[in-house]
Amino acid sequence: MRVIVTRPQREAQRWVHDLALLGHDAVALPLIEVAGVADAAPLQQAWQQLADWAAVMFVSANAVAPFFEAKPALGPVFIGSLAIKTRAWATGPGTRLALLRAGVPAVCIDMPASDAGQFDSEALWQVVANQVPAGERVLIVRGDEVDADARPSGRGRDWLALQLAARGVQPQFLVAYQRRAPRWTEAEHATARQAAADGSVWLFSSSQAVANLQQLLPGQSWQQARAVATHARIATAAQAAGFGLVRIARPTLPDIMASIESSDDPK
């Protein structure tokens, strides 16, 4: 079965590789372009203040790389004991893996349970709600979304920030990267039009990806297209865009595979 992977390029290639190993004709068609920020000074400053944060929450794997790239050569580290007791919060396994690859010890990372129904801020809150006492601070490392006129529009885990504030914990946002709609080639446009009607399964991990698809192909009918979304909110966006069949799966390979294969089931 052909699968259209819409994640940013670096992530998309990994998913294409894994799906191909399982026998699927997977194609990377990124619907979000990730770029660095122009000024890395705030990221570098955050490292100097690492011990002041009770936790650093990373909204996605894309937030991990630029944050750790800004680390000073002799800067502090997440060690889970002694002076630096800052926790690293992740909403799912992809972000946790990125943290591990960046050198964060597993004992310093908090994320939803492996059997959680969803990997999101709400599930993470079930794990960390009682971890941070009032008066402490939590840093939320996120991205900015850039519109067609190149104007940034800050996005982050607002729900989580509200929960922290209600507990007397001070949340602060730090922008580590920018997200924008990609500039497709004619070949990519043609691939997308074909995949709208040939039985391909579109894999969505962001509501923004769905919105960018509609902007790139205005007026395109998606009634014959199928989609797998990694969250209920993303599924709602795909349904609103007109996808004829939408299934929900957690962002793990076994769950994605089960949903892709079940999309052949007419029930």
Q: Using the predicted structure, report yes or no on whether residue 128 has a pLDDT greater than 50.
A: yes
Name the DSSP letter for residue 108: G
Catalogue the E-assigned strands of 152-213. 152-154, 170-180, 201-204
Residues 241 and 163 in one domain: no
Of all residues in the chain, what percent are helix, strand and coil, respectively (each to 5)? 40, 20, 40
Whole-number pLDDT of residue 122: 92
CATH number of the CATH domain containing 106: 3.40.50.10090
Does residue 122 lie in a domain region?
A: yes
Say if residue 111 is exposed, middle or buried (CB neighbours under 10 Å; 0-12, 13-18, 19+).
buried
pTM above 0.85, yes or no: no
Does residue 244 lie in a domain region?
A: yes
Give the number of domains in the chain: 2
For residue range 148-177, list pLDDT tens digits in order. 444 444 454 689 999 999 999 999 999 999
3-state secondary structure of 58: strand
Domain of residue 71 covers 35-180
Whole-number pLDDT of residue 116: 84
Q: Tell which of 180, 209, 227 closes a domain.
A: 180
Whole-number pLDDT of residue 148: 47
